[in-house]
Structure 1
Amino acid sequence: MGEIVKKLKSYPLSRDVETKERTGYRYIHYGDIHKQIADLIVQDEDLPSIKEGDYIPLNQGDLVLADVSEDYTGIAEPSIILHEPKTKIIAGLHTIAIRPQSATSLYLYYLLHTERFKKFGSHVGTGLKVFGITFNNLSLFQIKTPSFPEQTAIGNFFRTLDDTITLHKRKLDKLKELKNGYLQKLFPQPGEDVPRVRFAGFNEPWEVRSFENILAPAVASNTLSRAELSYEKGSIKNIHYGDILVRFGVYIDIARDPIPCIANGRIIDYKNKLLQEGDVIFADTAEDETVGKAVEITNISNFQVVSGLHTMAYRPKIKMSPYYLGYYLNSHSFRYQLLPLMQGVKVLSLSRKNLSKTLIRYPAVLSEQSQIGDFLRNLDEQIFTLYNKLGKLKQLKSFYLQKMFI
């Protein structure tokens, strides 16, 4: 690499040089590279302003690499200036700035994302808790380049792919933001009797009942650890509290969602502990305030499902529309009541006794419950679809990164 790039001036500028004033100077800090604030830079405003100084600025097409990382995969993580800067852009703290001489900038930028380069970085990187790389070591990386037209075509191909990924990310973020907004508006907030937004045709007052009047303990939970569960063997599906907290949303589609089974479970041992459609499972333990997260059981069909470690299973005492409880019990409208009921220091827990102290609000008309649940579920399905598309695009990019460079 040392033969095809020129090393540029970097400055040990830390965060204390940043300013809100428009000074005409901006910089690329290694931390912003790792956070992808500085990545494919297309406008000056993407970067923080800094105080004026006697600096040598960067040009369009220059690359700035982070020379330190907390792991080997982040060594020499690159950013690239794709536009003609209107201000003076400086390479800041813990960066290596380079200017391609006999390679196109985009081609080199994507080359630095390949698995081959990452492996190289892990070999030449130094350090224990923090790993670093020098320009001298970076320059030892062996590069084979095609013709300039082919380099340009490769760079443009990946840029188009990245633009598509960015577009899907923005759509996903907007949908998540939209959903969060509706979660605030479709359920009564603290001190309110009805939600701020209601579907047309509904004006009846909402019901307010104690938790115990709406939900009753369903079945006993088990204490099986992860080691006793399997995705390969077993027929009894087990809802583990860790999956409630991390993997599942507000409802579980039993027929669709991957759920581990009890590896050596016998149905005769669990026949009195089986969950039913519409049951709600709470996680009673967490390391943070996510304790008390709930999931509603849906599409259970003929599957055998049980409530696992650190969970509390409840069953509605009255008819409730599908999906309503799943969304309501995870909304701020309900969860603000849980905060003073959580116990513990490093690990928080929630007891059945404390959970019973809460109130549940719901529309008396089932069709209004149904509209709320279906509307939010439709948003979640759109989010799920976009999330999967985004994952496939990232996999496609990773595949081509390995196939289009040597």
Structure 2
Amino acid sequence: MSEEKAKIPAIRFKGFTDAWEQRKLGDVAAINGRIGFRGYTQKDIITKECGGILTFSPTNIVENQLSIGSKNTYITRNKYDESPEIQVHNGDILFVKTGSTLGKSALIKGLMEEATLNPQVVVVRSNYVDNGFLSIALTTESILKQVNSAKIGGAVPTLTETRIKDFSVKIPISIDEVKGIIKLFSELDCLITLHQRKLDLLKEMKKTLLSMLFPKNGSSIPEVRFAGFTDAWEQRKLGDVANRYDNLRIPITANLRVSGQTPYYGANGIQDYVEGYTHEGKFVLVAEDGANDLKNYPVRYVEGRIWVNNHAHVLQAKAESFDNRFLANTILRVNFESILVGGSRAKLNSATLMSIQVSTPEKSEQIKTGNFVYCVDRLITLHQRKVDILKDMKKTLLKEMFV
């Protein structure tokens, strides 16, 4: 491939044909971080209510978007005033130079207060190209490759500001092309945010519904229930209402799996799609070990043909007394964190699982409750799919519209 062709993206707006120019990041933008002797210590950290200034850290950058959450750090005004070069504003770009999220970046938008940086982040400002474009370019595969090759350190990887300034970026010659790219990705981000918000609302709605449709601790009657049901719920051991089919599980290493249509489940959900199956029917999968979230413990209702490895317990309701969809939702309410064993890889023993106490009404109420929550789950899955499709689309466009 010729040098000129290497500077032309695969996809671009109609009417633009010129090759992009290649520049060093330090030639098109000023890059500033917190100078070592101006670092801050614990005594410089105060609360917002005491006049503290918001101090951005890598935790404020989530999926290359700025997030101002409830666990922000605030420092004294004296420390803030000491480093005017890192006092950040809307339109600036934050770039992580130290830590596990090395290379993540975000354009500052909607900032309504004074703010600065902690030592793990630098601010990038360009007078050569619109920062909106540069913020998108910094999330491309090209930059991430340069981050990986330039990082130093082991457990705590880092980038020097000198190496960041040496990063190669390619920029359109036409301002109109720059504006078109900014507009496209801005609209795509808005769509992703919109559907993510809907998804989050549905998840919160499900939590609220579960808290109302199931009895609270110490009660045998739920706050809300379907018409015609008045009997108190019973407490039953999980082993009395469900069978366990862990004996049918078969783990397969990735290189030995034959690609197919059957979902291959591990502790946290689908890992792959393979030929064959280990179980067929309606089941509830509960993580045995390797759960990635102990507070929202992985529990899922599945049906049809599935393949399950040895990191998820496989349960099935006893047909005469229990409904599988209801079973999944009643298990979701268990506080698993308190009954796990082991250290860094916490484990849910089968004996502990089967001795868990669950609340149960008559089967007809179980079916109504289970089906209702299942409909909400379907909506959640639909919106999750929309979010995933939009994110995949963005990933593809980043690859094809940049060089």
Query: What TM-score comes out, normalization by structure 2 length?
Result: 0.74
Backbone CA RMSD of aligned residues: 4.0
Structure 2 residue runs of 5 or longer lacking an equivalent are 1-24
**Cα distance, 1:58 vs structure 2:** 3.2
Task: Say yes or no: does 1:221 pair with 2:247.
Answer: yes
* Alignment equivalent of 2:128, drawn from 88, 102, 105: 102
Local SS of the residue matching 1:82: coil
Letter paired with 1:376? V
* Alignment equivalent of 1:329, drawn from 331, 335, 339: 331
Task: Say yes or no: does 1:232 pair with 2:231.
Answer: no
Letter paired with 2:114? K
Whether contact under 8 Å (2:317, 2:327) holds in the other structure is: no
Task: Say yes or no: does 1:5 pair with 2:32.
Answer: no
Aligned residue runs from structure 1 range 371-390, under 5 A: 371-390=368-387
**Cα distance, 1:382 vs structure 2:** 1.0
Larger CA deviation: 49-58 vs 274-283: 274-283
Local SS of the residue matching 1:226: coil
Whether contact under 8 Å (2:284, 2:324) holds in the other structure is: no
CA distance in 2, matches of 1:391, 1:306: 23
Deviation string 1:133-153 (CA, Å, 9 cap, x unpaired) is 233222223333332232222
Aligned counterpart, 1:69: 99
**Cα distance, 1:280 vs structure 2:** 5.2
Aligned residue runs from structure 1 range 269-348, under 5 A: 277-278=281-282, 296=301, 298=303, 300=304, 309=310, 311=313, 313-316=315-318, 318-332=320-334, 339=338, 347-348=346-347
**Cα distance, 1:397 vs structure 2:** 0.9
Distance 1:23 1:8, change over 3 A: farther
CA distance in 2, matches of 1:275, 1:44: 43
CA distance in 2, matches of 1:364, 1:319: 8
CA distance in 2, matches of 1:234, 1:59: 50
Whether contact under 8 Å (1:2, 1:138) holds in the other structure is: yes
Aligned counterpart, 1:363: 361
Deviation string 1:40-91 (CA, Å, 9 cap, x unpaired) is 47x99996432111331334322232222336xx33x3233335x6643223
Deviation string 1:108-163 (CA, Å, 9 cap, x unpaired) is 11111111111122233333333322332222233333322322221222122112
Distance 1:161 1:14, change over 3 A: farther
Whether contact under 8 Å (1:216, 1:317) holds in the other structure is: no
Aligned counterpart, 2:8: none
* Alignment equivalent of 1:60, drawn from 67, 74, 90: 90
CA distance in 2, matches of 1:358, 1:33: 38
**Cα distance, 1:404 vs structure 2:** 2.1
Distance 1:52 1:176, change over 3 A: same
Letter paired with 1:383? I
CA distance in 2, matches of 1:359, 1:46: 35
CA distance in 2, matches of 1:60, 1:312: 50
**Cα distance, 1:184 vs structure 2:** 2.1
Letter paired with 1:134? T
Identity of aligned pairs, percent? 20
Larger CA deviation: 389-398 vs 57-66: 57-66
Aligned counterpart, 1:186: 213
Whether contact under 8 Å (2:252, 2:309) holds in the other structure is: no
Local SS of the residue matching 1:138: helix
Local SS of the residue matching 1:190: coil
CA distance in 2, matches of 1:220, 1:58: 55
CA distance in 2, matches of 1:124, 1:318: 62
Aligned counterpart, 1:132: 158
Letter paired with 2:326? Y
Whether contact under 8 Å (2:234, 2:360) holds in the other structure is: yes
Aligned counterpart, 1:252: none
CA distance in 2, matches of 1:3, 1:229: 45
Aligned counterpart, 2:16: none
Deviation string 1:147-189 (CA, Å, 9 cap, x unpaired) is 2232222122212211221222222222112212222221223
Task: Say yes or no: does 1:246 pair with 2:243.
Answer: no
Aligned counterpart, 1:162: 189
Structure 1 residue runs of 5 or longer lacking an equivalent are 249-256, 264-273
**Cα distance, 1:2 vs structure 2:** 2.2
| Count of aligned pairs between the two proteins | 367
**Cα distance, 1:398 vs structure 2:** 1.1
Aligned counterpart, 2:232: 205
Distance 1:316 1:10, change over 3 A: same
Larger CA deviation: 109-118 vs 190-199: 190-199
Query: What TM-score comes out, normalization by structure 1 length?
Result: 0.74
Distance 1:34 1:193, change over 3 A: same
**Cα distance, 1:319 vs structure 2:** 4.4
* Alignment equivalent of 1:81, drawn from 99, 108, 117: 108
Deviation string 1:254-278 (CA, Å, 9 cap, x unpaired) is xxx9764569xxxxxxxxxx86644
Whether contact under 8 Å (2:33, 2:119) holds in the other structure is: no
Deviation string 1:199-256 (CA, Å, 9 cap, x unpaired) is 2332233344455553456x67146332399652699x7986xx2x3106xxxxxxxx
Aligned residue runs from structure 1 range 256-275, under 5 A: 260-261=274-275
Aligned counterpart, 2:179: 152
